[in-house]
Chain A
Amino acid sequence: MNDKIKVGMADLNACLSPGILTTLGLGSCVGIVLYDPLKKIGGLAHIMLPDSTQIKNNSNVAKFADTGINKLIDDMVRLGASKNRLVAKLAGGAQMFSFKTSNDLMRIGDRNVEASVKILRRLGIKILGQDTGKNYGRTIEFYTDTGDLFIKTIGKENKII
């Protein structure tokens, strides 16, 4: 079955090989891919904000880096992945508009990336590749049979990390 599994904004999903996970038009949000290379189990979270503890209304766990990563790990373990074999790849976290304000909001892309990296480190999950920051949108596809993360942008070469 080669149908791509679509992950929306503030959404996450996990699947077994040869499933393909995709999220379209990532802007300031971050796409976090986790992978168990032995069992070929992949997971993708499209998070919007760095930290659930800073927000009152935090029932959607997929919206935040901290709770999203934890939920994704749980889902993958349920599919048979081993937590200590997981590796990660990250994409997104762009600054789409160049607002020059002191407002932290406009740095949200960077903050999302920083938070994701910090949480992965704390969990001892190695980050194998990262295509983050800059000022453009990204569509990503994760191939669970190979572990490749395919990144498409408008007007630039596609890349694989």
Chain B
Amino acid sequence: MDNINIDTLDNIHLDVLKEIGNIGAGNATTALSQMINKKVDMSVPKVRILEFKELSDILGGAENQVVGILLAVEGEIKGMMMFVLETTSAHNLVNLLMGKALNTFEEFSEMDLSALQEIGNIITGAYLSSLSSLTNLRIHPSVPHMAIDMAGAILSVPAIEFGKIGDKALLIQTGFGEGEHKVFGNFILIPDVKSYGTILTSLGITA
């Protein structure tokens, strides 16, 4: 299973990986929804296999300003997990949580930033713990770190990690949104090459 090839994954594998995204993101959106006390919708997860030069297109282009919360995943699965919001959405989310008027787009205060960080903590935690119970694999997330910058710059971090083993990145991406207050974002799980073999095996699928 170590020698799994990204290019030859068939539809069954892709469906299983999508389901992983579905369950992980489902738990994460539930956590988010409870925090803001609003219904949060979720899109159908996508499994994407991208060349590095295409990678930043998934977040609205390389220069699009986003808030990225990144954590390293270790244990029986390795990789990274990202929670990404457009800056406007991040403002709306903070405003909702802090009971501020919507459409206040001042600079993020220290308080706003730590609220965002905490949201990232809870949500990525919910995603990964459901993944861990589903696969019965031990997963240790690192402390999440936040950066507000160009999408391309933020994605360069997981991309470089992939660059060590291949020329493409596999990611499981699920969008979510809360329409009325315009909070839209993405959960992205980026397992390393060995780990999606591990995930598939744990679910009884042979590659």
If A11-B52, A99-B142 are given as contacts, then 6 extra A-B residue pairs at C-beta distance below 8 Å, sorted by A number, are A28-B153, A28-B156, A57-B167, A96-B157, A137-B150, A154-B65
Tell me, yes or no, whether A72 is within 8 Å of chain B by CB: no
Q: Which of A24, A55, A98 contacts B152 (CB 8 A)?
A: A24
Whether A10 and B72, one on each chain, are in contact in the complex, defined by CB atoms closer than 8 angstroms, is: no
Q: Is the interface of A mostly helix, strand, loop or mixed?
A: loop
Most central of B53, B55, B70, B152 by chain A CB within 10 Å: B152
Provide the residues of chain A in CB contact with B165, threshold 8 Å: 55, 57
Give complex CA distance A137, B68 in Å. 13
Whether B150 and A97, one on each chain, are in contact in the complex, defined by CB atoms closer than 8 angstroms, is: no
The residues of A with any CB-CB pair to B shorter than 8 Å are 8-11, 24-29, 48-49, 55, 57, 59-60, 63, 94, 96-99, 101, 105, 108, 135-139, 154
- Which of B41-49, B56-64, B96-104, B197-205 lies on the face that meets chain A? B56-64
Closest chain B residue to A139, Cβ basis: B63
Provide the residues of chain B in CB contact with A8, threshold 8 Å: 51-54
Count how many chain B residues have C-beta atoms less than 8 Å from C-beta atoms of the other chain: 34
Q: Which of B65, B72, B160, B167 contacts A29 (CB 8 A)?
A: B160
Give complex CA distance A108, B128 in Å. 26
Closest chain B residue to A112, Cβ basis: B160
Provide the residues of chain B in CB contact with A26, threshold 8 Å: 152-153, 156
Whether B153 and A27, one on each chain, are in contact in the complex, defined by CB atoms closer than 8 angstroms, is: yes
Whether A24 and B164, one on each chain, are in contact in the complex, defined by CB atoms closer than 8 angstroms, is: no
Most central of B63, B70, B151, B164 by chain A CB within 10 Å: B164
Closest chain B residue to A11, Cβ basis: B53
Tell me, yes or no, whether B145 is within 8 Å of chain A by CB: yes
Q: State how many angstroms separate the Cβ of B18 from the closest Cβ of chain A.
A: 25
Whether A97 and B145, one on each chain, are in contact in the complex, defined by CB atoms closer than 8 angstroms, is: yes
Tell me, yes or no, whether B149 is within 8 Å of chain A by CB: yes
Whether B56 and A9, one on each chain, are in contact in the complex, defined by CB atoms closer than 8 angstroms, is: yes
Q: State how many angstroms separate the Cβ of A151 from the closest Cβ of chain B.
A: 12
Whether B160 and A25, one on each chain, are in contact in the complex, defined by CB atoms closer than 8 angstroms, is: no
1/0 contact trace for B153-182 toward A, CB 8 Å? 111110111011111000000000000000
Whether B54 and A57, one on each chain, are in contact in the complex, defined by CB atoms closer than 8 angstroms, is: no
Q: Which of B53, B153, B163 contacts A94 (CB 8 A)?
A: B153
Provide the residues of chain B in CB contact with A94, threshold 8 Å: 153
